[in-house]
Amino acid sequence: MQPRRLLAVTLWIVVAAILLQAWLAGSGLFGTPELFELHGWIGSGVLLLSALAVVLSFVAREGALVTFGTVILAAGAMSQIGMGYAGRRTGLTALSALHVPLGVALLGLAVALAVLTTIRRAPATEDR
């Protein structure tokens, strides 16, 4: 699979994983608190995939906008993990409160990047 296509697939998996995160958090809050452990593991997966997206956007020469976007996505995922664990382990409710809108913002960014890399035409040299 070409790096460009692999990047788009990776970003769509990140979109699906963040949606799953929102569902796990809701289920954890409203019935099954044990699900937060899985939420933490999947959070690490989101970070790994976001880091892979940074590498792929360089390899695929996606340009400054997409590359910068993937860097922000990876940095956001790292902050999200820090806030999630700190919020739960230390009871810093302000971090837990910030964790939710940051998750929503990361979903929006991941969707934008996934759409952009999916619809973007390959350079003319790749068409031949």
Residue with the shortest CB distance to ligand HEM = 84
What whole-number distance in Å separates Cα of residue 38 and Cα of residue 34?
A: 8
User: Minimal distance in Å, beta carbon 80 to ligand HEM?
Assistant: 4
Is residue 46 a contact partner of residue 21, using CB atoms and an 8 Å limit? yes
Q: What are phi and psi of 91, to 5 degrees?
A: 75, 20
Please select the residue that binds ligand HEM; options are 11, 47, 49, 54, rule is CB under 6 A. 47
Under the binding rule (CB under 6 A), the answer on residue 22 touching ligand HEM is: yes
Measured from the CB atom, the residue of 79 and 118 that comes closer to ligand HEM is: 79
Is residue 34 a contact partner of residue 92, using CB atoms and an 8 Å limit? no
Please select the residue that binds ligand HEM; options are 81, 111, 115, 116, rule is CB under 6 A. 81
